[in-house]
Structure 1
Amino acid sequence: MADDRAATATLHRGLALEAFDSHLFRRNSATVTAKLEEYLDGTSIRGLRLTDPALLGRAARALMTRERQSIPALDEQKLSAIVDLYLRTGIQLHSPGYMGRQFSGVVPLAGVIELMTSVAGQPASFYEAGQLPNVVERIMADELNEFIGWDPERFSMVTTSGGSLANLTALLAARNRAFPRFWSDGAAAAGRRVRPAIAMGDNAHYSLSRAAGVMGIGEEQIVRLPVNRHGTICMERARPVLASAERRHLKVFCLVASAGTTSLGAFDPLEELADLAREKNLWLHVDGAHGASLLVSDRLRHKLKGIHRADSLCWDAHKMMFVPMPCTMLFYRNKEHGYGAFRQEASYVFEQEPDIYTALDSAEQNFECSKRPMIMSLWALWALYGPALFAEKIEYLCRLTQEIYHEVCAAPDFEALHRPEANILCFRYRPDSRLADAELHRLQLAIRNHIKAEGRFFISKVNVDGVAALRVVMMNHQITREHFQMLLDDVRNAGRTLLGNDQRRDKEKE
């Protein structure tokens, strides 16, 4: 009996160790890589086919071992099926049919680097745990600051897991500069009659109002600045709104500008907003999660004219720098402000006597303690290909968006809602100018749902002036003008079918 238990223990230990075996790792990697190679080579136009969650759940459960008492040997057929299921049910980022969101298919090499950082994990908040990630974070900060234009001796950069967290961190730094005792004393630090407030464009990303809520700043203390027909902050109307906020005892401490709004991809006037921020002693934060990447292009950099006057900048590399999610960089014009968001003592991680190693620690500047070395995939691409790789793809996508804008303008049954500034275009199918807004709204939503259900193209939607619009984001360099023309044909056919069905129902009611 004792011999049986010993043999069983030895077997279990062997199977447990097998899961960590390097030869098995190579075999598993080959299985997954072959599937990904096939995925990347696919030329079919495919969007997104939604699967009934119950069916998908059953398919996923069928791939799970039922063994609970011992460790089974790895079933490589199930591994292959898991990869197939994942790739088949996700958004097809590398297909010309994908035009829906602001995240893109990655440069494949970046995925290889992510594999390395996943297996050889190095938490990146502390130099001693992730030496190279912390060094290359400084290197990439210097490289990208060449395009921003801040004093190289005074600025700083820290990586965060996503633009939402970067925006929150910057707003915390701005608040703590304006109200130095807020961190320790809470809202009482602002005084009894003063209510801290944040000013932002009326179409700013929802993460900013969410960040305000996290900080205890209610919706009533968010000063919404009107936007013009281009979707950018209207300077003529911004000043009266700020004056009104002052009369309501709102103490605006931060002005947020957008460089590439989510809805339209519009760029707020940074120079004019910088003048306003300086005049009123406000922190100017730029949410450039989407559009900051245009800085690497000589042809497009002018969209962010005045960025050097901002106090902080959020920049998502997982959007227009084509690396895996999430990879966000938060820049500060004054590196001292980078330590202003969080003010804590923790002897188990923070060093009381800094040296050349701990000087590269970033944990005091970001919310995360354990943080992926997300900068590695961006640095590897930059190191091996340089900035031209990014600039050429970004320029192509923006040029393509201009071309499809003209396609929409030339079609009598479509209307373009703005001239694109980057790679986002909103438009509507409108065969009859007499359609009321409510009917037009329902039609666009129905068309979008029809297109998604067909599974050939994946597009998004957004409300523009209260009426739904179809929205495309050009993130894939494999998309051509011809692909967009095919999408317009599909939209037109869907619209005609939907309108015809509506007319038939109206006749039946008569």
Structure 2
Amino acid sequence: MAESPQSGMLIEAFDVQLFRENTESALAKLEKHLADLSVRGLELADPEQLTRAARALMTTEHDRPAAFDEARLSEIIDLYIRTGIQVHSPGYMGRQFSGVVPLSGVVDFVSSVVNQPSSFYEAGQLPNVAERIMADELNGFIGFRPGTFTMVTTSGGSLANLTALLAARNRAFPGVWSHGTSDLGAVVRPAVAVGADVHYSVARAAGILGIGEDRVVRLPLDAARRIDVARVRPALDEAERRGLTVFCLVASAGTTSVGAFDPLDELAAVARERGLWLHVDGAHGASLLVSDALRHKLRGIDQVDSLAWDAHKMMFVPAPCTLLFYRDREHSLGAFRQTASYVFDEQPSMYTELDSGAKNFECTKRPMIMTLWVLWAMYGKALFAEKIEYLCRLTQDAHAILEEQTDFETLHRPEANIICFRYRPDWIGDAELAEFQVDIRNRVKQRGLFFISKVDVDGVAALRVVMMNHQVTTDHFHLLLDEIRKAGQAQ
């Protein structure tokens, strides 16, 4: 008979007083980190050196649990904070994940300690209730008919896109789940139509689903880099002539490259006409729905079949926290079809009605909704709307600043908080332009004040700025342009 341990390091590792001390130590470091509003980018460490530093912080005791070393923990936390992207700094303008509302980090910490996986109600009661509440709250901006839609959380937009395409494929080809694509024979060749700037996860999903990247129909874009509706029907007709059976059309609400919003209302009309599932990758831009001033950019969202929405982007909570909405809740049950007596109850009840395990890929899933729900419960939508609207205004101001510069060229009028441009002094020719932008981005990163990204626009590299921090001002953007000039002249 096993006896509970009475002493030793196992007891210490779970000691609540030590837990409190560790928490207070980490809290002090994080408070200092958040209070530092200096302009700083990314201190990119040599991977080998960082590996050696990390290994040096590991215990050499393996035969029994090592004694707790407070200094070692302090150094680990310092290393963790120092080597990450400084998302709370005004120098951070490079990616689509954001510095979080600090309270959401506190809630995430609580979730980690109480450890309530949320795919099943009995394991995470409040998270499942909060998920239903937030579905109703956010649907107030989407406009699906109450009582007929559903929402499930997933670990990231890529998984949400894959899940939605699974549901779309299984609706169009019901036998594939059980019998595989061979059941379709050689005549039926499933395909997906997407905007040319769609996120790479959609093409990846096509590969996973056995559709293949060659059957991803790339729809042409207009001058604003949105799907050109006038050319969608001809493109679908051409796909049909090639023997493809398009079953799903994927639009974007805030493309990753430039932040463009496809015309959802017009695309919904095409989808209805052709009997296609319309999925919207709104990982970045769906959050504009909470703003009265910006919601019009997603006109027609109430007519789509599914929507992926990343709260860890423009709702400013820890990653991952993705919301996958279905206009018809019955379709949400079509993505996965399994029986497993150890988790799925054969006798439905008021408790199992809140289970999401049958609708998402994950069996064990973080209670990711809690970070968003607590912020919504404490502050309401205005907190999110105010920050989103500021970031979009700031990006418009940045565009105006660039238009005044003779040595920069703008590539689009920003629709949200992403802007792409090129540094183009008169001594750089067309043949050198693409490589020059990549070099500039890398030099800016190495100099350590700013972190920006790059993207190819019309096949030529460009600099890309994503405004995610409300601490950033136009003064910081002017400093960035000066830093770009210095980097360009340093070659």
TM-score tier by shorter-chain length is: over 0.9
**Is the contact between residue 306 and residue 325 of structure 2 (CA under 8 Å) also seen in structure 1?**
yes
CA deviation map 1:289-312 (0-9, x unaligned): 000000000000000000000000
Tell whether 2:197 aligns with 1:211. no
In 1, distance between residues paired with 2:370 and 2:163?
Answer: 22
CA deviation map 1:25-57 (0-9, x unaligned): 100000000000000000211000111111111
Q: Which residue of 2 aligns with 1:461?
A: 454
In 2, distance between residues paired with 1:112 and 1:65?
Answer: 29
2:50 to 49, 53, 56: 56
In 2, distance between residues paired with 1:11 and 1:354?
Answer: 41
**Is the contact between residue 195 and residue 221 of structure 2 (CA under 8 Å) also seen in structure 1?**
yes
Aligned length: 489
Write out aligned runs for 1:126-145 (5 A): 126-145=120-139
How big is the shift at 1:12? Answer: 8.6
* Residue type of the alignment partner of 1:375: I
1:484 to 477, 480, 485: 477
Write out aligned runs for 1:106-255 (5 A): 106-255=100-249
CA RMSD of aligned residues (A): 1.2
How big is the shift at 1:442? Answer: 1.0
Query: TM-score with structure 1 length normalisation?
Result: 0.94
How big is the shift at 1:241? Answer: 1.2
CA deviation map 1:96-155 (0-9, x unaligned): 000000000000100000111001000100001110000110000000000000101100
Q: Which residue of 2 aligns with 1:285?
A: 279
* Residue type of the alignment partner of 2:237: A
* Cα 1:443–1:12 shift into 2, 3 Å: farther
**Is the contact between residue 5 and residue 11 of structure 2 (CA under 8 Å) also seen in structure 1?**
no
Once structures 1 and 2 are overlaid, which stretch shifts more, 11-20 or 246-255?
11-20
How big is the shift at 1:71? Answer: 2.1
**Secondary structure of 1:457's match?**
coil
Tell whether 2:457 aligns with 1:474. no
Q: Which residue of 1 aligns with 2:489?
A: 496
**Is the contact between residue 271 and residue 278 of structure 2 (CA under 8 Å) also seen in structure 1?**
yes
In 1, distance between residues paired with 2:9 and 2:131?
Answer: 39
Gaps of 5+ in 2: none
Q: Which residue of 1 aligns with 2:441?
A: 448
Q: Which residue of 1 aligns with 2:71?
A: 77
In 1, distance between residues paired with 2:80 and 2:481?
Answer: 29
How big is the shift at 1:240? Answer: 1.3
How big is the shift at 1:11? Answer: 8.9
* Cα 1:390–1:10 shift into 2, 3 Å: closer
* Cα 1:482–1:346 shift into 2, 3 Å: same
Tell whether 2:373 aligns with 1:369. no
2:40 to 46, 50, 71: 46
**Secondary structure of 2:323's match?**
strand
**Is the contact between residue 190 and residue 196 of structure 1 (CA under 8 Å) also seen in structure 2?**
no
In 2, distance between residues paired with 1:436 and 1:232?
Answer: 29
How big is the shift at 1:313? Answer: 0.2
**Secondary structure of 1:278's match?**
helix
**Is the contact between residue 12 and residue 71 of structure 1 (CA under 8 Å) also seen in structure 2?**
no
Percent identical residues: 67
* Residue type of the alignment partner of 2:133: I
**Secondary structure of 1:422's match?**
coil
Structure number with greater Rg is 1
How big is the shift at 1:436? Answer: 3.7
How big is the shift at 1:334? Answer: 0.3
1:411 to 405, 412, 419: 405
* Residue type of the alignment partner of 2:198: A
In 1, distance between residues paired with 2:257 and 2:145?
Answer: 33
CA deviation map 1:316-338 (0-9, x unaligned): 00000000000000000000001
**Secondary structure of 1:470's match?**
strand
* Cα 1:63–1:190 shift into 2, 3 Å: same
Gaps of 5+ in 1: 1-8, 499-510
* Residue type of the alignment partner of 2:391: L
**Is the contact between residue 401 and residue 422 of structure 1 (CA under 8 Å) also seen in structure 2?**
yes
How big is the shift at 1:229? Answer: 2.0
1:19 to 13, 34, 41: 13
CA deviation map 1:339-364 (0-9, x unaligned): 00001111111111100000110000
**Is the contact between residue 408 and residue 415 of structure 1 (CA under 8 Å) also seen in structure 2?**
yes
How big is the shift at 1:467? Answer: 0.8
**Secondary structure of 2:247's match?**
strand
* Residue type of the alignment partner of 1:271: D
**Secondary structure of 1:415's match?**
strand
2:394 to 400, 406, 414: 400
In 2, distance between residues paired with 1:424 and 1:221?
Answer: 30
CA deviation map 1:376-412 (0-9, x unaligned): 0000000000000100000000000000000000011
How big is the shift at 1:435? Answer: 4.2
* Residue type of the alignment partner of 2:446: A
Tell whether 2:268 aligns with 1:266. no
Tell whether 2:51 aligns with 1:91. no
**Is the contact between residue 437 and residue 467 of structure 1 (CA under 8 Å) also seen in structure 2?**
no
In 1, distance between residues paired with 2:428 and 2:188?
Answer: 48
How big is the shift at 1:180? Answer: 1.1
